[in-house]
Amino acid sequence: MLELDSTSLAVFTTLAPAGMVAFVVMALLRSTVADHAGKRRVDHLLAIPFLLVLSGFITSTAHLGTPTNALYVITGAGRSPLSNEVVSVLAFLFLAGSYWMAAISRDLPRQVAGAWIAAGSVAAIIAVGFTSIAYSIETIPTWNTIYTPLALVAGALGAGCLLSEGIYLFAGGLKPTRSTVLLVAYALSCLVVLTAMVLLRIELDTITTFVAKASGLAMGYDVRLGFYAISSAGALCALFNASFREEISTKTRLALACASAFAALWGVFLVRDLFYQTYMTVGV
Partner 1 sequence: MTQYGFYFDSTRCTGCKTCTLACKDKKDLPTNLVYRKVFDYEGGMWEQGANGTYQTTAFMYHLSLACNHCENPACLENCPTGSISKDEATGAVISGAEETCIGCGTCVQVCPYGVPAVNPDTEKSVKCDMCIDLVAAGKQPICVESCPLRALEFGPVEELRAAHPDAVDGIAPMPAGTETVPAIVIATCPAAKMPGDTEGFVANEWEVAAN
Instruction: By CB under 8 A, name the binding residues for partner 1.
Output: 1-2, 5, 63-67, 69-70, 72-73, 75-76, 79-83, 86, 137-140, 208-211, 279, 281-284
- Report the nearest approach of partner 1 to the CB of residue 61 (Å): 9
Contact (Cβ atoms closer than 8 angstroms) between residue 202 and residue 220: no
220: left (phi over 0), alpha (psi -120 to 50) or beta: left
Contact (Cβ atoms closer than 8 angstroms) between residue 116 and residue 92: no
Nearest to 159 by CA among 49, 85, 273: 49
- Report the nearest approach of partner 1 to the CB of residue 102 (Å): 30
Q: Is the dihedral of CA 38, 44, 47, 48 positive or negative?
A: negative
- Report the nearest approach of partner 1 to the CB of residue 121 (Å): 25
* Of residues 208 and 241, the one with the C-beta less far from partner 1: 208
* Of residues 121 and 148, the one with the C-beta less far from partner 1: 148
* Of residues 133 and 181, the one with the C-beta less far from partner 1: 133
Beta bridge partners of 208: 213
- Report the nearest approach of partner 1 to the CB of residue 80 (Å): 5
* Of residues 84 and 189, the one with the C-beta less far from partner 1: 84
Neighbours of 51 (CB within 10 A): 15
- Report the nearest approach of partner 1 to the CB of residue 268 (Å): 22
Contact (Cβ atoms closer than 8 angstroms) between residue 165 and residue 179: yes
* Of residues 82 and 199, the one with the C-beta less far from partner 1: 82
